[in-house]
Amino acid sequence: MNLKRLLNDRIAAALEASLGEAAPAVVQSAARPEFGDYQANGVMGAAKRLKRNPREVAADVVARADLAGIAARCEIAGPGFLNVTLDDGFLATSLATSAPVEAAPEPETVVVDYSCPNLAKEMHVGHLRSTIIGDAMARVLEALGHTVIRQNHVGDWGTQFGMLLTFLDETGADSELLSDLETFYREAKKRFDADVDFADRSRRAVVGLQRGDPEIRRRWQRFIDISLSHCQEIYDRLGTTLRPEHVMAESAYNDDLDAVIADLDAAGLLEESQGARCVFLDEFKGKDGETLPLIVQKSDGGYLYATTDLAAVRYRARRLEADRVMYFTDARQALHFRQVFAVAGRAGFARDGMSLEHHPFGAMLGTDGKPFKTRAGEVVKLIQLLDEAEERALAEVTRRNPELPEAERREIARVIGIGAVKYADLSKNRTSDYVFDWDQMLSF
């Protein structure tokens, strides 16, 4: 339903009944919030043409207009404007029942790759943006009738897990520290840098992890589960649609990586450079005009972020039969994705006509214009950020409506606080950096 069209029709009908001939109602969004939601500007022109008193015509139109159940108020202002305030109940039911979009003529299978935190650490603001924007996109595509497959490509593999698991072994699996992964990571890194023996054990743990040593795998799984449960807590609080079953972690592609390398080799794309295996495509040039490599295997045989992403494209094409894949990460990964998409195309990992799209977003900055950090220069914990949004909203709600019972104020604050965090993100130009400003975010 189009509200403006509806009001236009109703007011034009009243205008015609009043004047005895058709005249446009000229309904627009209200110029200022205090005028209501919409204004009709057509009365003055029509009255003037017929040499009638505009305010009288306006009063007659208000009396005749069939706006029952639609408008809470329709008032005459100035020389004959009509200010319309919509009825809250009408708005609520319209939102709940109207399909806001027309179904896509040719529904596609769309993979939306979003959120994707690294489980070694706490989720940070970049992942918050990816989660909010990606989830909105997944919902929009679903509303349009597409088949959406959510993929949370979490980072759960790599050398840093050797260090973390060794530290977990030392501190004990029930360590308090695990409730704060950021600190856990920092402490582990401290140990790693200070203690040769610890570093050595960490490296052996990586090898054990890769070889599938059952004890190391068990500890790794436990760590991953804890870290993922922190993420799920955030997803639930944000009211996003991400669920555990959408996790398709980097490690899920481990068994495909040899085949990826073999396919690249068979396609004649592999080259060796300083012991590492790379793909060089002419279209990717560095500042000095030299061709940039996409490194797919390190000299020690280890695979990289790019290798896993190639395997993911292959999986999404062959197994998920995706027509389109959309990636939501910050703009710093633009080159990575351009290279991965180009190589995937050459190697035949992508299907014909399959659209691979990176939708980058800008960084979140503090009010000082620097990357968003705590005063101590630390990463902002997202749970704390959501807590603070709700606390600030509660203070504002309490200031405005102290008479409401506390439970009700808290619920309103929760809805407004979380809503404000999401709206602040979605209302901005996606690709520019944006300043995270509490006051602006929670200004009513």
Instruction: Tell me which of 312, 364, 394, 412 binds ligand ARG, using CB under 6 A.
Output: 312
Instruction: Tell me which of 11, 111, 112, 116 binds ligand ARG, using CB under 6 A.
Output: 116
CA-to-CA separations, 99 to 30, 202, 239, in angstroms, rounded: 24, 55, 21
* Smallest separation (angstroms) from ligand ARG to the CB of 117: 6
The residue behind tokens 């309904």 is 27
* Smallest separation (angstroms) from ligand ARG to the CB of 307: 11
Instruction: Tell me which of 121, 153, 381, 409 binds ligand ARG, using CB under 6 A.
Output: 153
Rule CB under 6 A: is residue 420 a binding residue for ligand ARG?
no
Instruction: Tell me which of 54, 155, 208, 417 binds ligand ARG, using CB under 6 A.
Output: 155
* Smallest separation (angstroms) from ligand ARG to the CB of 318: 16
Say which residues have a Cβ less than 8 Å from residue 270's Cβ, sequence separation at least 6. 261, 264, 277, 278, 279, 296
* Smallest separation (angstroms) from ligand ARG to the CB of 158: 10
Half-sphere exposure of 315 (CA within 13 A, CB side): 21
Instruction: Tell me which of 83, 118, 202, 307 binds ligand ARG, using CB under 6 A.
Output: 118
* Smallest separation (angstroms) from ligand ARG to the CB of 305: 7
Rule CB under 6 A: is residue 327 a binding residue for ligand ARG?
yes
Cα of 88 vs its chain's centroid, Å: 29
* Smallest separation (angstroms) from ligand ARG to the CB of 154: 7
**DSSP β-bridge partners for residue 270:** 279
Question: CB–CB of 240/150 below 8 Å?
Answer: no
Rule CB under 6 A: is residue 122 a binding residue for ligand ARG?
no
**DSSP β-bridge partners for residue 113:** 151, 327
**Radius of gyration over alpha carbons of the chain, in Å?**
29
Rule CB under 6 A: is residue 160 a binding residue for ligand ARG?
no
Distance CA 136, CA 375 (A): 31
Rule CB under 6 A: is residue 293 a binding residue for ligand ARG?
no
* Closer CB to ligand ARG, 145 or 302, in the complex: 302
* Smallest separation (angstroms) from ligand ARG to the CB of 118: 5
* Closer CB to ligand ARG, 36 or 155, in the complex: 155
Contacts 24+ apart (CB under 8 A), 375-384: 378/182, 379/121, 379/122, 379/124, 379/125, 379/182, 380/124, 380/125, 381/122, 381/180, 381/182, 382/122, 382/123, 382/124, 382/125, 382/127, 382/128, 382/234, 383/230, 383/233, 383/234, 383/237
Applying CB under 6 A, the residues found at the interface with ligand ARG are 113, 116-118, 153, 155, 309, 312, 327, 329
